[in-house]
Amino acid sequence: MTALERRSSIGLALIFALRMLGLFLVLPVFMLEARQYTGGSDPALVGLAMGIYGLTQAFFQLPLGIASDRFGRKRVIVLGLLVFAAGSLVAALADSVMGLLVGRALQGAGAVSAAVTALLADQTRDTVRTKAMALVGISIGLMFAIALVLAPLLTAYVGLSGLFTLTLVLALGGVALILWVVPPETRQHADAPRGRLSDVWGHADLRRLNLGVFALHTIQMAMWVAVPAMLVQAGLHKDAHWHVYLPALVLSVVAMGGLFAMERRGRLRAALLLSIALILLVQAALGVLVAGGLQPTVWWLGVLLFVFFCGFNMLEATQPSLVSRMAPANLRGAALGAYNTLQSLGLFAGGALGGVLAKWAGPGGLFAATAVLALGWLVLTWPLKPVGRGGH
């Protein structure tokens, strides 16, 4: 990477990290802490308040991605972060679950993932873009692990409202980064020729990648409905789950060096397919263990989570990189907006699907369904065409 590419990649990865840390800090404690608010005795309302973020984010990803093509990436990113900060403030001041719901919905409306990813694509060459996307993926994964450790500790001192106040501060930190750290834009979006959304929706390989990210995050959320309980059954207290998550995540980041080696050899498509195969392998293995009545040990669960994170991290780097290469330059924000919309819908669908399957079919049925979904995803992605250097 050039110095400018490093500055852009690190700055934009930090924006993602600050935003996602704020979100992840809330997730482990939201369902428990919201019970103390007015209306907290209604689990359906509390669940809606927790999940509404994903729905509003899915609704706004594409419009804000298109806006970034027309009006500029940085303007849209600043606007989205300020909306996210406003939602954090509403949630911090809330004294009822309905107030939390409004705040969470407003947070989701600040959907800047597409604009941030498009700006990163604008400011990096194809040959290093997967590495830049990997920095973003790694930053998100690390924030998830850090949040698992910090959330219970912070909640004991500042409560749920304090976590939302911290989220507000982190969002404003993201605004400072985009204004003073990330390099200026090089494109004049106002003068760029208008593209057509049909160029995005009509592109077969973009559809494959969009459905792929939907499948990835559906599987991720669904499996996490069952994995924590499996760790508890294996003898690991819930407060110590990070002892498994963090090493598995860190080691998977080290293993990503293999991805970059494959990209340098012009085998990015092969890396993508291998990553999907790893996701399929983990779902099938968990399904077989549960169906066979076997109780995996903490060590075995750690190994399977390491393999899962290897595939997940590689996919989080390769898929948006490929989307940015395939999309017409004047529709890059729209293409990444569509991609992030399907990602958000996958998060929502995975949580809903996982809960239903865990209730009616048990963990065995859940992992059987995620394995079938992963297999269908692999078959769907197989015809993907190479995209320039590093796309084979």
36-62 confidence digits (pLDDT tens): 899 888 867 877 787 788 788 888 988
Q: Which fold has domain 1-132+140-182?
A: Growth Hormone; Chain: A; (1.20.1250)
pLDDT greater at residue 134 or residue 386: 134
Q: Rounded to an integer, what distance in angstroms lies between the CA atom of residue 151 and that of residue 352?
A: 23
Residue 70 CB-half CA count within 13 A: 10
pLDDT greater at residue 186 or residue 216: 216
pLDDT of residue 192: 55
The CATH class given to the 196-392 domain equals mainly alpha
What's the pLDDT tens digit per position in 91-128? Answer: 999 999 999 999 999 999 998 988 898 899 889 887 78
pLDDT of residue 264: 65
- Asked if 1-132+140-182 and 196-392 have one fold, the answer is yes
Question: What residues does each domain of the chain span?
Answer: 1-132+140-182, 196-392
**pTM attached to this predicted model:** 0.78
Residue 182 gets the label, from left (phi > 0), alpha (psi -120 to 50) or beta, of: beta
> Mean of the per-residue pLDDT values for the chain?
85
Which of 7-16, 144-153, 250-259, 264-273 has the highest average model confidence (pLDDT)?
Answer: 7-16
Check: CB of residue 107 under 8 Å from CB of residue 53: yes
| Nearest of 225, 232, 273, 218 to residue 384 by alpha carbon | 273
What's the pLDDT tens digit per position in 331-358? Answer: 788 888 888 888 888 877 887 787 778 7
pLDDT of residue 40: 84
Q: Rounded to an integer, what distance in angstroms lies between the CA atom of residue 337 and that of residue 360?
A: 34
pLDDT of residue 259: 67
Enclosing H/E stretch for 288: helix 268-291
